[in-house]
Amino acid sequence: MDSAVQRFLDYLMVEKGLAGNSIAAYGRDLAQFVEFVKSKEVNSPGELNAGIAASYVESLSRNGFARTTMARKISALRTFAKFLVRDGIVGEDFTSNLESSRPPSRLPATLTVQEVELLLSQPDCATPIGLRDRAMLETLYASGLRVSELIGLKTDDVNLGVGFLRCLGKGSKERVVPVGQVAADFIKRYLTEARGSLAKAKQSEFLFLSYQGAPLSRVMFWKIIKKHAASTGIRKRLTPHTLRHSFATHLLEGGADLRAIQEMLGHASIATTEIYTHVSKDRLYEVYELAHPRA
């Protein structure tokens, strides 16, 4: 079993080109499955069948895993089973009868334009850290980047003259995204007024740096946005992804084409982007109820 899983992970890396974090997540989920089947004295892929797969899913449910976690683990098992069939290791897909345990669709949290402006105005641009924070928040809202893409930006990735930046998304896929004039102006100010003092004479290719001159981590950025969100008085739960969701929703409400939004967000499927049409409809209902005399 262990060698079959390793072959599968190698396949994900070499042939599918998945990112290291994604491969590691598959490895963790399948390690749990292997541990389960070994407890049932199943030691080779050829012994796997639909009954064992169903028992595994039942064990996940008994152990109290959240529906989102169960859905991910089942998806990993399905992908593994298809690989085994493809390579002729097993004769048939032993997961074909499993229920997907798809979690209920949840609409992403978004901010209004006024709330975004309030959040962006919180950093103190008179300090290098504050100017860096403002530039980061402006960039996130202007481009819809994921946090990992934002903190991974290099100085060479940003072309402020043309108004575009280049980022590396999921699966190491590169895309070019426009960045607005306001965000570009704050990035320029950060580069000329703040980055040098943060770098502390260290050489770094990364655009946004910590006060020690090192690249920022996801946890660091989470603390940054949490700090500034606390100052706004906004009661909504804000996360680093909130600005990405707000970016997409405001574009859609402004009349942007869904395919263009998909391209800017780096979604592999238009179905992922379509969730923002539901958010936009909710916003239309809010406007209707507030504005119509018979609402």
User: In the beta sheet, which residues pair with residue 178?
Assistant: 164
**Contact criterion met (CB below 8 Å) for 75 and 33:** no
CA torsion sign for 174, 176, 181, 182 is negative
Structure tokens at 14: 């070499």
The string of DSSP letters for 97-147 reads T----PPPP-PPP---HHHHHHHHT-S-TTSHHHHHHHHHHHHHHHH---H
Query: Who's near 106: CB < 8 A, 6+ residues apart?
Result: none
Among 295, 276, 287, 281, smallest CA distance to 106 is for 276
Catalytic site positions: 146, 170, 241, 244, 267, 276
Distance in angstroms (rounded) separating the CA atoms of residues 141 and 116: 8
Instruction: Give the DSSP H/E element, type plus range, for residue 159.
Output: strand 158-159
**Contact criterion met (CB below 8 Å) for 119 and 240:** no
